[in-house]
Structure 1
Amino acid sequence: MIQPNCLQRFLNSISCFSAFLGGWALVFNVLAVGSVLAQEKKAPLPVDLELVLAVDASTSVSAQEFDLQMRGIAQAFREPSVIQAIAVSGDRGIAVSVIQWANNLLQEVAVDWFLVRDEESAGAFADLVDETPRFIFGGGTSIGGAITFSTRQMEINDFEGSRRVIDISGDGRSNQGAPPEMVRDRSTALGIVINGLAIVNEDPFIDSYYEQFVIGGTGAFVQTATTYEDFGAAMMEKLIKEIGGVPVAEKTTDFRFASNEAEKR
């Protein structure tokens, strides 16, 4: 006859062995699911260009000036010349994202990555930009922080561009965070081109500052706007060059906007 305590130990052994098998079954299931998910994860989508449009939202930018930047981007993507540049740049389209930035700890994805291939998708992207509010209100000016954040967005997105460009727009010099030239060099080492759109309404030498400390990479250039009212026209010209990969030897200094002509009269 089996003693009760022996029977209990036997039953406990069976229970422990079952739990042991169950634990390993769970491990194998987790590994199997992980393997399936890894196989199902899509490869990055090839595009002709990855483009981050980094918009200054620091203290120096008023509500009206911020609005002119966002409206200027939307306006540019509705321009036939920009749509044509997208069409002739390749058949894979361009992936575009808009970020807002201020100090070293203030960056926000305002419009997430969006694939633009034709007039319809360019219009849809422009509508998204038009509908996007301001997420950042004030703070210092950290161009290095904006470059770092923009570079990170390129590293984690679902696209793989033949070219990668960060477009930094602003009206002031970096006064907080890492020196922009140091951050710039790290990003350009990854094959990223950094261009600038300098708004010279407050600092007449901001374009020279961007030329020396901000832009970098093959064909990098600075586009200038005399005022925020000129931002849309400047952005249009800049996008045509960036999307088409037009080689630029030096910063743009001969572009004239309506406000410039008015000042001469």
Structure 2
Amino acid sequence: MHRRIRMPNPPRPIVSPLSLGRAITVCLGAFLCLTMPMTAQHAFSCSLSLVLAMDGSASVDAREHDLQLNGLADALEDPEVVEAIEAVGGIWVTSFEWSGRYQQLLQLTWQNLADTQSAKRAAATLRRSPRGFTEFPTAIGYALGYASVSMQKAPEPCSRKVIDIAGDGINNEGFGPESAYRAFDFKDITVNGLVIAGQDTAPVSYYRNSVLRGPGAFIEVADDYEDYARAMKRKLLREIFGSGYAALR
């Protein structure tokens, strides 16, 4: 007769909330990729092309402009965002600053973000980007038109096309979003918004009613410019993972 030897239980691993959150992010990305319809996986070579549009209108002072720029850079190289990017196999990103009708300044040409190094390079480029204009009003329709044209120049087709327009006010020059959506090509493009609310809640309603467009469109609200980096990080995670992330948070 053989005596059964009882093995001691292995020690429990210590898991920090941060590492647990990152593990959930990676698992979620893998799940979403595996559950994507096979037709979508074969038809496109990347998961997301993202156009970022940052408000540089006269209502944004120098300090607020820097908080936006650095907030975006911080969000792009945030470890959780990088792990999300890696989980979906990389994304394409471009960014520009906008204000008046013809005042759009390219900050970041189309970049393929696939890992920590590429995310840090994009963030460094953004931080070096000078402000283009300071005295022009808020021409959201023109910014959307510019974003649409930028999207058509994406280096390769992606399964999702997203424009994210950030701002602290409503359109006050030129045609508005409704006209832009009629005049430019927004087929298969989702337009999301990041609103810096402050004490004025009117932009939140305006973005929700007039700017959002397309499947899964959403608005992310920053309480003020100091809150911009947090809101941008959450917005990026939602855009990278799509509706699956929003449903599980």
TM-score between the two structures when normalised by the length of structure 2: 0.77
2:172 & 2:142 partners in 1: Cα distance?
11
1:65 & 1:81 partners in 2: Cα distance?
25
Q: Does 1:140 align with 2:137?
A: yes
- Give, in angstroms, the shift of residue 248 of structure 1: 8.3
The answer as to whether partners of 1:221 and 1:249 remain within 8 angstroms in 2 is no
| 2:190 aligned partner | 193
1:187 & 1:248 partners in 2: Cα distance?
29
RMSD, matched Cα:
2.1
Q: Does 1:124 align with 2:124?
A: no
Counterpart of 1:57 in structure 2: which amino acid? G
Structure index of larger Rg: 1
TM-score between the two structures when normalised by the length of structure 1: 0.73
The answer as to whether partners of 2:148 and 2:185 remain within 8 angstroms in 1 is no
2:102 & 2:109 partners in 1: Cα distance?
19
Q: Does 1:111 align with 2:136?
A: no
Counterpart of 1:219 in structure 2: which amino acid? G
Q: How does 1:143-182 map to 2 (within 5 A)?
A: 143-182=140-179
Q: Does 1:223 align with 2:220?
A: yes
Kindly report structure 1 stretches of 4+ aligned residues shifted beyond 6 Å.
Answer: none
What are the ranges of 5 or more consecutive residues in structure 2 without an aligned counterpart? 1-43
Q: How does 1:1-265 map to 2 (within 5 A)?
A: 46-89=45-88, 91=89, 93-184=90-181, 189-246=186-243
Residue deviations 1:191-243, cap 9 Å, x none? 11000000111422311110000011000000001100000000000000001
Residue deviations 1:176-202, cap 9 Å, x none? 111212323566741110000001114
| Worse overlay, 168-177 or 184-193 | 184-193
Give the 3-state SS of the residue equivalent to 1:176 in structure 2.
coil
What are the ranges of 5 or more consecutive residues in structure 1 without an aligned counterpart? 1-44, 256-265
The answer as to whether partners of 1:88 and 1:244 remain within 8 angstroms in 2 is no
Which structure carries more relative contact order (alpha carbon 8 Å, separation 6+)?
2
Counterpart of 2:46 in structure 1: which amino acid? V
Q: Percent identity?
A: 38
Aligned residues: 205
